[in-house]
Amino acid sequence: MIRFIWQNWWRRKERFILLIVGAFIISAGLTYLIGLSETNKGTIVDTLQQRWSASYDIIVRPEGTHSVTEEKKLLEPNYLSGLSGGISIEQYETIKDIPGIAVAAPISLIGYASYEVHYGDVEIEGPGIYRKITETTINNGLYEQTEVRNYHFPHNVNWDYFNKLDYGVGAPSLDITVRSDSLLAGIDPEQEAKLVGLDKAIIPLGTSRFFEESDEYYYDPINGGHHEFPVIVNQQTFVDKVETITFERLHIPISEENADEVLEEVREKSADDYLHSIEAEVVETFTYTGEEAFRSFINKNTGVDWETGEVIPVELEEEETDNIVGESGADNITSVVFKPSPLEYQEIASPYADRWPYTYQVVPVQNGEDVVARYRDKESYREPVLIEEEFINFPKIKPNWIGFYDASKLTISKDPTTELPMETYRPATAEFVMDKDGNPVNPPKLLQPIGDPNNFLTEPPGMLTTIEAAEKILGDKPISAIRIKVAGVTDLSDESQEILEKVAAEIESRTGLITDITLGSSPQLALTFVPGLNGESDIGWFQQPWVNIGSSISIFRETKIGFSGVVASVIAVAIVYVWASGIVNLLARRKEFAVLLSIGWRPGQLSRLLFIESSIIGLFVAIISWMMLGFVHISSETTITFTRFLWTGLFGLVIYMLGAVIPMVLTRNISPYEAMRSGEISSTSKRLFRAKGINRMAFNHFIGKWKRSLLSVISIALPTSLLAVFLYITFRLRGIMYTSMLGEYIALEIGPAHYVVSIL
């Protein structure tokens, strides 16, 4: 029968050529559909899984920490730095015992502590009243902010400053000291090492090392008591600061003999106001940048020069960095005053909704008299939350340095164009894109932190200690958040999402805490309007990458659904095409089959003939598809699984085998006497209307050949419907993609339109 089929094809070359052309079209279409489109799909999935991935899968927070922005599944940048406690150690241990949790890394944002770098004392000769001017200039990326503090004191005169208060002068202050604030956070060293590789980021300078089991918390009850604990320090500084300390001698003649008379006169002339108005001559000026102060801090603690790595001689070390002290002036003891606090947002209309669909305004906080002087009766962007109500109760701490770490060596995303702005080890970013009047700023300016705990931008923790120390300082609920890594979640898929949803539900059920699944999240550009404080002019609009929860998994699912729908549609169109071709071929060969029946062939043999013909064409399609797919694989170095490679060819074979079913059934209606017919005659054709005019004639013909007409309609409708599916998927994916930075990246890389066209 194979020979008969070949001879039949060879005698009718034009019909055979059409069969081959159709086979090539189907094989090429399947290859392009499964091969190249799978490459594009793989690009999307690879982007979702690798370029946009957080270091943790679930974030656990205390109840009541949801903000207005989360109604639209948006988390503000570095929202962790605005949380202060709320989760107990017992809840943390409960979470660790939940099956499936591989890493549970807690973080406790304890509060803001200051460290001081003391460069020695100024040498001043001769009696006099001196003015110490401390001028701190900070560059916030937009402009420089300067704060000036004056302090007056007598020197080398016999003056009892301890018992006299209203004279505008105080105790001699000859120290040259630079102060800085640093956010102190507590972690579980073992879990943090598993999560981000913190132990591998320790800088090998001097005795610098990671936490060890022998590092313990200690409470020293002497002098009111203070907490001692080990810390590792972030080697990066984020504040561009210059500190200038100037000593001036006022033009007021004073000596030991007339000191009382002079200062009584100063007191009578309104003390501070009078002293500020007196001219003076500069005695000494000292200027240090924040980086220089930090380097001195590092050099002192490590005993190794930060730049050269060489050991610093003891004499030089004592000369350059005399001592590192806290606010108390001795033994590194300082205080923790402010807790971290969140920003309050309100949604406002976007000036450019197409570019920034999400727009918020920071709501300033009006402070009363129950805060420290720097915020009293003033506005701030965050509510100043004191760690204790009474100033005398602020916890005293003595951080014992054990090492430095480099955040750039952590196993977290470091690409600024794709990183999720939700890590503990880097500050939030904000681009100044429009002024207060909506005029664009070109080029945009990058806002920088200024070291103020309650400013718009905050810094990441500068010092890390243990959760044990955090519990001793803060009390029963020291943990601000817990970052969860779940076992078995290695990729972005529906299976992974289902696992995470089960674990998150279990955490909420056992602890009563709230959870957010961060797997499948993406940066989302949002616009934030920052008003001015205390009557100052508004600053303007800032563009920030927020966290769009679940955007990646949404794109993944839409891509998967769209791809499956297109595959099914194309296969359906291919089957209808083969059916239509087979029926047309049957009609053309109907007389031939009648002759075969008249000479003794049975209908089953005709069905077998058609099935073998379709199988041969289908096998040809499969071979061509495999060859083309192999060429694509070699030339473009794409990765295609063996299963998908096998099914790509088998689809063509199955399509042609299914396409032979209807012609095989129709052959049973052929009679031998049809060999005597000439042309196409139907004895069962009926008319519904009397033929008057071409329209009725066409309608009667359409109804009379209803089977063929129905097939023609389906053959036309399916490709049209497929085109509609293509357009729907194109615009739907475009709408979903352009709601996040991730989607925009994918759209630029291959684009939803290109993705659909590639299937065509």
The pLDDT of residue 522: 72
pLDDT of residue 756: 39
| 471 touches 89 (CB < 8 A) | yes
Q: Helical H runs in 1-154?
A: 2-11, 13-31, 37-46, 89-96
Higher pLDDT pick, 405 / 570: 405
Q: Would you list the DSSP string of 427-448?
A: ----EEEEETTSPEEEEEEE--
* pLDDT 10s digits, 182-234: 899 999 999 999 999 999 999 887 788 999 999 999 998 887 789 999 999 88
Q: Over the stretch 220-258, which tens digit does the pLDDT of each residue have? A: 888 778 999 999 988 888 889 999 999 999 998 888 788
The residues, ordered by sequence, that sit 6+ positions from 127 with a Cβ below 8 Å of its Cβ are 154, 155, 156, 157, 254, 255, 256, 259
Looking at residue 394, the DSSP 8-state letter turns out to be S
* Token pair in block for residue 472: 């001793």
Q: Residue 536: helix, strand or coil by DSSP?
A: coil
Structure tokens at 445: 């300016």
The distance in angstroms from the start CA to the end CA of the chain is: 37
Sheet holding 144-155, edge to edge: 144-155, 128-139, 240-250, 280-289
Which structure tokens are listed for 623? 């071979």
The pLDDT assigned to 106 comes to: 96
Type of residue at 600: G
Residue 708 in contact with residue 555, Cβ under 8 Å? no
Tell me the Ramachandran region of residue 635: left when phi exceeds 0, alpha when psi lies from -120 to 50, beta otherwise: alpha
Residues 227/224/294/315 CA torsion (nearest 10 deg): -110
ω into 443 cis (within 30 of 0): yes
Q: Is the pLDDT of residue 324 over 50?
A: no
Among left, alpha and beta (phi > 0; psi -120 to 50; other), residue 346 is beta
Q: Is the pTM of this model over 0.75?
A: no
79 conformational bin, left if phi > 0, alpha if psi -120 to 50, beta if neither: alpha
Tens digits of residue pLDDT in 142-178 = 999 898 999 988 888 877 766 666 788 888 889 999 8
**pLDDT tens-place string over residues 528-561:** 999 999 889 999 999 998 887 766 566 666 555 5
Kindly provide the residue ranges of all beta strands, DSSP E only, lying in 62-100, ordered along the sequence.
Answer: 74-75
> What digits encode the pLDDT tens for the residues 51-61?
555 678 899 99
What does the pLDDT read at residue 558?
57
Three-class secondary structure of residue 398 per DSSP:
strand
Q: What is the pLDDT of residue 1?
A: 67
Give the β-pairing of 396-405 and 431-435: unpaired
Angstrom distance (rounded) from CA 88 to CA 74: 26
The pLDDT of residue 447: 93
Residue pair 655/692 in contact (Cβ under 8 Å)? The answer is no
What are the E-state strand segments in 476-607? 481-486, 514-517, 522-530, 540-548
Q: What is the biggest distance separating any 2 CA atoms in the chain, rounded to whole angstroms?
A: 146
| Residues in CB range of 17: below 8 A, 6 or more apart | none
Alpha-carbon Rg of the chain, whole angstroms?
39
pLDDT digits (tens, 9 = 90+) for 272-316: 788 888 999 999 999 999 888 887 877 776 677 766 667 776 554
Q: What is the pLDDT of residue 565?
A: 59
d(CA 398, CA 265): 43
| Highest mean predicted confidence (pLDDT) among 34-38, 431-435, 562-566 | 431-435
The three-state secondary structure class of 346 is strand
- Burial of residue 374 (number of CB atoms within 10 Å: 0-12, 13-18, 19+): middle
**What local confidence, expressed as pLDDT, does residue 326 receive?**
41
Residue spans of the domains in the chain: they are: 2-49+553-674+693-759, 59-519
Q: Angle at Cα 479 formed by Cα 475 and Cα 485, nearest 5°?
A: 155
Query: Which pLDDT belongs to residue 750?
Result: 43
From residue 151, alpha-carbon distances to 82, 243, 284, 374, 532 in Å are 34, 15, 15, 16, 29
Share of the chain above pLDDT 70, in %: 72
